[in-house]
Amino acid sequence: MAKITMVGAGNVGATAVQHIAQRELCEELVLIDVIEGLPQGKALDMWESAPLFGSDTHVRGSNRMADMEDSDLVLITAGLARKPGMSRSDLLDKNAEIMRSIVQNVVKYASDAIIMVVTNPLDVMTYLAWRVSGFGKERIIGMAGVLDSARLRSFVAMELGVSVKETQALVLGGHGDSMVPLPQYTTVAGIPITQLMDAVTIENLVARTRKAGGEIVELLRAGSAYYSPGASLAEMVEAVMKNKKQILPCAAILSGEYGLSDMCAGVPVVLGRWGIEKIVEISLASSELEALRKSAEEVRKDISRLNLP
């Protein structure tokens, strides 16, 4: 019986759980949070909606880490959210403490699980989860590129007045201002956007994609994005639970790919039942490869603050 645990019952975690339950990606879905009543209330509300969308995925809430026992997949969204003017790096120290504790519990109660990380700063937290868990790198996946690529796709569709279904995009690198959107791999019905819009327009869309999370934070004034991150995580979960062998841009631990080692960065990967089954190395222009490596170095600086052995 497939079991998924979500650690973190905030907006991102709860939104992702609802998507996962609606798609019936597992039989049992546990929502864990430290706040008493919060995961229980949200889980019960979701379960009461199950008859309306025809899902038999049983959602339940808990305050006990032990209830993740024997999970096939553990999703981690727990942590502090960004506030206006706060960078992802500002979140590092507190969220690192939270991440260590959660991953130690995964090792204790769900030692065969695949871990998906959403907590910011995303790339650093994904690397930390790998080091703390001792799991193989294929079992540690960060949610970044799927979200950033979806944002770029949405902006392209808005600019050209076309269906989002016709758009594809690829965003690599760290999940932040140094991310690397790739116009040559961003298409509409297979046509590169470099043939559909001028360079200035493309650069404006790239810039907006880099700042997309901050744009939402500023608009909300209290809180951050959760609809698009929740949907992005569910997309990754479906690729794993259905063994879809889907190529998606995810934060992965690199061992020489793209000239990067002992590092976490967003790259195209093949996602299947055992996690990251392959890291796909695509052809990049020299400027793009330089930008990817520069983005990775920004992540490396934050990793050095973790004081890992």
pLDDT exceeds 80 at position 134: yes
pLDDT at residue 22, rounded to an integer: 97
pLDDT exceeds 90 at position 1: no
pTM higher than 0.85 for the full model? yes
pLDDT in tens, 73-117: 999 999 987 666 666 567 788 899 999 999 999 999 999 999 999
Listed residues 142, 164, 186: the one ending a domain? 142
Establish if 120 belongs to a structural domain.
yes
Backbone angles phi and psi of 191, in degrees to 5: -95, 120
Amino acid at 32: I
Establish if 97 belongs to a structural domain.
yes
- C-alpha closest to that of 176 among 223, 203, 142, 135: 142
Helix, strand, coil percent content, the chain, rounded in steps of 5: 50, 20, 30
pLDDT in tens, 254-301: 999 999 999 999 999 999 999 999 999 999 999 999 999 999 998 999
Amino acid at 277: E
Distance between alpha carbon 156 and the CA centroid of its chain, in Å? 21
Establish if 161 belongs to a structural domain.
yes
* Residues 67 and 198 placed together within one structural domain of the fold: no
Q: Of all residues in the chain, what percent carry a pLDDT higher than 90?
A: 87
Establish if 309 belongs to a structural domain.
no
pLDDT in tens, 191-242: 999 999 999 999 999 999 999 999 999 999 888 899 999 999 999 999 999 9
* Residues 289 and 300 placed together within one structural domain of the fold: yes
Number of structural domains (the chain) is: 2
* Residues 57 and 77 placed together within one structural domain of the fold: yes
CATH of the domain at 191: 3.90.110.10
Alpha-carbon span 146 to 291, nearest angstrom? 19
Alpha-carbon span 39 to 35, nearest angstrom? 8
Mean of pLDDT values over 4-32: 98
The catalytic residues are 175
* Residues 155 and 297 placed together within one structural domain of the fold: yes
pLDDT exceeds 90 at position 150: yes
pLDDT exceeds 90 at position 248: yes
Look up the domain containing 270 and give its range: 145-304
* Residues 149 and 138 placed together within one structural domain of the fold: no
pLDDT in tens, 165-188: 999 999 999 887 889 999 999 999
Establish if 151 belongs to a structural domain.
yes
* Residues 7 and 127 placed together within one structural domain of the fold: yes
pLDDT at residue 32, rounded to an integer: 98
Higher pLDDT, 122 or 88: 122
Let me know: does 266 contact 123? Beta carbons within 8 Å: yes
Q: Is 264 helix (H, G, I), strand (E, B) or coil?
A: strand
Partnered with residue 6 across adjacent β-strands are: 31, 75
- In whole numbers, what is the pLDDT of the chain averaged over residues? 95
Listed residues 110, 142, 174: the one ending a domain? 142
